[in-house]
Structure 1
Amino acid sequence: MTLDKNSWGYRRDMTVADIHTVKELIEQLARTISCGGNLLLNVGPDDYGKIVPIFEERLTDLGKFVNTHNEAIFGTKPWIFQT
């Protein structure tokens, strides 16, 4: 998935509403790992290869969540039965 809801690359005209919230990222991460998957998160750098501050903030906050809950994340096993 990508941080920008509308593009896999950098857009100059993106707004905060176009960026996934940390809550949305955590929900997607939880759904993915609960089924035994891996989450690949795309970040589109600007023309100079820089990561824009809003992307950096989202990555930092997601990293804090993962560091805080690493035992629950990395020690999980996928569901055997799904309803």
Structure 2
Amino acid sequence: MMQKVLERLFTLSLVASLTFAALMILLQVIGLVVGSGSLMVQSSEWLTQPTIILSAVFSGTAFILGYFPAYRENKK
């Protein structure tokens, strides 16, 4: 049960983190193309912190999942 919850949290936070990062890059490219420096700065200010927090969540979740038997490597 707990493993399924952690797997779901990992997947959701990974996808959200990658989506926020891609959106930030897309907005910065759009700002570069249209010559809007404020769009480039604002997209970074708005999306950097949520992206980093979600990255920390999926990294921590992956670390915890490493302690479950299904994720341990067989040492032979």
What is the TM-score normalised by the length of structure 1?
0.34
What is the TM-score normalised by the length of structure 2?
0.36
Larger Rg: 2
